[in-house]
Structure 1
């Protein structure tokens, strides 16, 4: 993954001048030791902050050490102004954590009172309008604080990634896809840049890549990836040409940003003009950590990238697509998994999921488009999908979205892909999310979310939820357990 930040985290201890600095130093050293026992590295700033002059020295020190994420550690009560000014002036995400008292023996003379100091720190952060990450319970032993720092890494990586991201789009959204249409204004509050282009720009660049000398090497790589699933080798030259087009565009147009994702038009005129469907190329970009969302879904691309940063792995974008038939549920799920029929559904897209996330894969044509574009004939311009059942395992379904009035809202739900053959087409899987029926009605439908959801392969709800909180997303929903009602849920219906 070369499209996400590398995190170099540092830790700075702070000390209120009426408390012994040695207490903060000793506790900081214990945290660093516990963190390194995990096999992780952290820069330990030797300067403990008591005042603003110390703050400037510590700031210069962590910058010289190339830290791009920082832990402000309250080894004792801490100097509220200096510690929050450090967060204000540090160019990167900052986490605040505090020390728990170790033993009864220290209470008489070396009590740190960091439990109290964290309250003042949070108050001052708010007064100064400073964003900082504060763990769910930010006070702990050295081992517990070390775990907090480890949990901070994916959050810091995502914050830096979004603030250095450019979303490149091609083409207006397809007709009747208003669901994927959202104002771009909210992107700027996240630090995300966007470049919107015409399909003609993409087509012209694609034509300029005809006979590109790199095409044979890309074809060879595709052949190796597809293996026995290379059912339509004749389409690979065009797909390779398209892949190089996007890679070159990303490099030439990233501008002042470091990372790039795409939100591209992929139908209906794409097939007739380009002569293929781009799904397989999109899947390969997802494998590189540079997602290409379907149907110019800008917030879908943003959500996918967020998932890449959190998981350090490939993600996909799927339609929350169709119900699981009763006979499939009875034959393959009932009595084998602890899910009701309404907890299950199928997630689908034409063929954009990375091959390594499929149980098996093969090159196919887009069956739905072929009905209208190539009826009753051998597929030609609809070739290019990567089809296969999504591999079973844990997943997180999530999305960050702007409302029509440019307010950010989000959802996140953990579940799994079941080891159930789909007997269908496309990149598709049988998904199970506890209480999906209620989540579908009272979040997805009621709050006007589009049908696209980002899928991370693993349970990452904790980190994703914290990222949403960091960016002040006020409305963050999740699949509530049966014991917890949604505000608009009818108690008599249940």
Structure 2
């Protein structure tokens, strides 16, 4: 799986609207210019053939957008626009919707060439509210084509995030550790975002791994990938087959349990029982999943997994999560340190066990988890079940 396969591709439709007391040609002309402006900045957009003047036009435009595979839409007021039909389009479209309006081009054409789209947008906004339709209206929603193309490009990123969340399932294994109330995750808030949650026990995870045979060819393939990724940092080569079985179990679990959703994230309990049962810490495997756009938060931090996935959607990059961990000692900062305008009191050190993907680091080395080692293993013996971070 690649990062892109766990994030949505936005297919954007633009529909022009026109009030019947204004010339439809004004919207047609302005829409063509807007589409060209979008293409100039690298956006591939689909322009609905139908200009919405009435409710029948709304149905036709909806069908055209659906046939084009659009999952996000822009309602463009080329002139005043019919507030009812355009609001119905936004209400019935199955995906995020934005609305923008055309500015007047020149003082030399303010009679037949004037569209009053600014006024139309104000009326449309009121109609959206009456219908309880949530539409993205940018801070500067009225403009010429080049200006609006930039706003549409921003909306495409917003739409990607909304589509991703609406099709996300977070898989959780185990309860959060004792005294980790910061990992509390009320489910209702997730449902309001459209996120699905599937909660499982640590025993379920153990059974999943037990089902993976050591001679499974995918285990060998994953272990070889790990070896290549770690390079000289492969300090525990004997551990890689175990880690590969664990990773394969999680990846297959995603494939078999996405159900109605398309994208996945994990929030898994990783201590203190995990190490004794599995024989390693899961940090490195979690980092590899994150590199593929599948966040794997530890300590059953469901909201942390959600935050990481949002970061991945917003940046098209793998995400990681660091704790606000400890203060910065005075002797680390001298008078020549460039704090970029910050005060020393503003600084902190971020830390996490090892979920950060190798592609986000200058170098990586397989190590053992020091805190778990203190808690679980005999300090007089070499690390064993706390290796894998």
- TM-score, scaled relative to structure 2: 0.97
Distance 1:173 1:219 in 2: 29
Residues 311-366 of structure 1, C-alpha deviation per residue, up to 9 Å, x if partnerless? Answer: 111001111111111111227x7346332112321111000001010121111000
Kindly indicate whether residue 168 of structure 2 is the aligned counterpart of residue 154 of structure 1: no
State the shift of 1:65 in Å: 0.8
Which aligned runs of 4 or more in structure 1 are off by greater than 3 angstroms? none
SS of aligned partner of 2:247 = helix
Distance 2:346 2:110 in 1: 52
Distance 1:335 1:266 in 2: 37
- Match in the other structure for 1:86: 89
- TM-score, scaled relative to structure 1: 0.76
Kindly indicate whether residue 145 of structure 2 is the aligned counterpart of residue 129 of structure 1: no
Q: How does 1:331-350 map to 2 (within 5 A)?
A: 334-335=337-338, 337-350=340-353
Q: How does 1:449-468 map to 2 (within 5 A)?
A: none
Q: How does 1:248-327 map to 2 (within 5 A)?
A: 248-327=252-331
SS of aligned partner of 2:366 = strand
Unmatched runs of 5 consecutive residues or more in structure 1: 386-494
Residues 136-157 of structure 1, C-alpha deviation per residue, up to 9 Å, x if partnerless? Answer: 1111110011111111111111
Distance 1:85 1:336 in 2: 52
Distance 2:188 2:253 in 1: 24
Residues 207-237 of structure 1, C-alpha deviation per residue, up to 9 Å, x if partnerless? Answer: 1113133111101101111111111111111
Residues 100-140 of structure 1, C-alpha deviation per residue, up to 9 Å, x if partnerless? Answer: 11111121322111111111111111110111111111111
Distance 2:327 2:141 in 1: 42
- Match in the other structure for 2:370: 367
- Match in the other structure for 1:34: 37
- Match in the other structure for 1:200: 203
Distance 1:346 1:17 in 2: 61
Query: What is the number of residues matched between the two proteins?
Result: 384
SS of aligned partner of 1:261 = strand
SS of aligned partner of 1:310 = helix
Unmatched runs of 5 consecutive residues or more in structure 2: none
Kindly indicate whether residue 54 of structure 2 is the aligned counterpart of residue 51 of structure 1: yes
Structure of larger gyration radius: 2
- Match in the other structure for 1:15: 18
1:234 to 231, 234, 238: 238
Counting strand residues as a fraction of each chain, which structure ranks higher? 1
Counting helix residues as a fraction of each chain, which structure ranks higher? 2
